[in-house]
Amino acid sequence: MSHTVCLVPGDGIGPEVTEAARRVLEASGAAFQWVELPAGAGAVEIYDKVLPTHTLDEIEKHKVALKGPVTTPIGRGFKSVNVQLRKKLNLYAAVRPVRSLPGIKTRYENVDLVVFRENTEGLYSGLENEIVEGVVTSLKVVTKVASERIARAAFAYCKERNRKKVTVFHKANIMKKSDGLFLECTRRIHAEVAPEIEYDELIIDNGCMQLVRDPTRFDVLLMENLYGDVISDLCAGLVGGLGVVPGANYGDDCAVFEAVHGSAPDIAGKNVANPLALIMSGVMMLRHLGEIEAARRVRQAYDGLLDSGNLSELTRDLGGTAGTRQFADAIIARL
């Protein structure tokens, strides 16, 4: 059976890493029909929109997308494509598994945790307003519906993957109402659907300190949108950087698979970006599509490549000398 999958290359390093991931997935044993769709800076020039309507329509129609990163201007310009996409497709759960990888030496061993991020509301929505010159507000909206929904998703994931513990990061000592509501919901859903799963809460500043001291004490981390954005990058740093951490955005109808990293303008177009994070996101996509054997093969291929320590086949961020394309070739050769 062939799967129709939307492919959104994005911009910056996006086209390079999506091309590498597409080639690896095609060699995995699963069959695909790709529907390539524009988003980001390139889309503005042609469609006058960063997120053209037909990109959204096609993802809604085919329900699955593999997406490269897109650039969002700082302090000015258009609203984030990612925020729009996640809201419009109601992709409420961002799931980012973070694990120590064979052959990648870091300060820590045996890290194996998953960041579960509420993906549709909170401060990350960028609902801002200039009241008068020099005075700006930024609205943090937290709802019972979205908080309960992400908590249900996190506990369901624990049961499915045999995860033992959920830790909620929050700041309800200061944001008593908004983060307070989030906590009220996670506690209630825990008691209702998964009392057998261990549950605890940490104020996020302490949570960061605990993470860098000993990340192995954590299993599933559950939090609101902006915290999840920041903590995902912190966790990537624990296991080898942004080149090695995948992600998925799930809704009830659609799923969009993308790496944690951004468009990395500093290295774009140079064939040096590590495509592994998107390839790993592709493995999450294979599992989502029921292609369990193909997923296992790709994972085995890149684990083997990393473990080999052959620097001529690894990208620069991993201490090697291979380019984006050569890294993908080395995985394909092992498939």
Out of 38, 69, 207, 282, which residue is the one contacting ligand NAI (CB under 6 A)?
Answer: 69
The least distance separating ligand NAI from the CB of residue 333, rounded to whole angstroms, comes to 21
Q: Which of residues 111, 264, 284, 331 is near ligand NAI by CB under 6 A? A: 264
Query: Taking CB under 6 A as the rule, does residue 266 contact ligand NAI?
Result: yes
261 belongs to the binding site for ligand NAI (CB under 6 A): yes
Nearer Cβ to ligand NAI (100/274)? 274
Applying CB under 6 A, does 255 fall inside the site for ligand NAI? no
By C-alpha distance, which of 330, 329, 313 is closest to 321? Answer: 313
Count residues binding ligand NAI (CB under 6 A): 21
Nearer to ligand NAI, 165 or 288 (CB): 288
- Distance between CA atoms of residues 110 and 54, nearest Å: 43
Closest distance of CB 268 from ligand NAI, Å: 9
Give the whole-angstrom CA distance, residue 37 versus residue 277: 20
Q: Is 119 in the site for ligand NAI (CB under 6 A)?
A: no
Residue 89 phi, psi dihedral angles, 5° rounding: -95, 5
Out of 15, 29, 103, 262, the residue judged to bind ligand NAI by CB under 6 A:
262
Which CB sits closer to ligand NAI, 69 or 207? 69
Q: Rule CB under 6 A: which of 41-60 touch ligand NAI? A: none
Question: What is the three-class DSSP state of 97?
Answer: strand
Which of 207/275 has CB closer to ligand NAI? 275
Choosing from 97, 243, 246, 282, the residue that interacts with ligand NAI (CB under 6 A) is 243
Q: Which of 20, 123, 317, 327 binds ligand NAI (CB under 6 A)?
A: 317
User: Which of 267, 304, 329, 334: binder of ligand NAI (CB under 6 A)?
Assistant: 267
Separation CA 122–CA 9 (nearest Å): 27
**DSSP letter assigned to residue 312:** G
Q: Assess 71 for contact with ligand NAI (CB under 6 A).
A: yes
d(CA 77, CA 335): 43
For residue 13, the minimal CB distance to ligand NAI (Å) is: 6
Verify binding: residue 82, ligand NAI, rule CB under 6 A: yes
The 10 Å Cβ neighbour count of residue 3 is: 18
- Stretch 142-171 residues interacting with ligand NAI (CB under 6 A): none
The alpha-carbon radius of gyration of the chain (Å, integer) is: 20
Please give the structure tokens belonging to residue 46.
């042609």
Beta strand ranges found along 186-241 (DSSP E)? 198-203, 220-223
Residue among 121, 258, 291, 313 that touches ligand NAI (CB under 6 A): 258
Q: Are 245 and 113 in contact (CB under 8 A)?
A: no
Angstrom CA distances, 55 to 2, 62, 63, 249, 253, stand at 21, 11, 12, 16, 16
In the complex, least distance from residue 157 CB atom to ligand NAI, rounded to whole angstroms: 21
3-state DSSP helix/strand/coil % of the chain, to nearest 5? 45, 20, 35
Residue with smaller CB distance to ligand NAI, 39 or 220: 39
Q: In this chain, which stretch among 49-57, 64-72, 220-228, 284-292 interacts with ligand NAI, using CB under 6 A? A: 64-72
Q: Any residues with CB less than 8 A from the CB of 335 and at least 6 apart, and which?
A: 24, 27, 28, 29, 297, 298, 301
Closest alpha carbon to 67 in 17, 2, 106, 126: 17
Please report, as ranges, the residues that interact with ligand NAI according to CB under 6 A.
13, 17, 69-72, 82, 242-243, 258, 261-267, 273-274, 277, 317
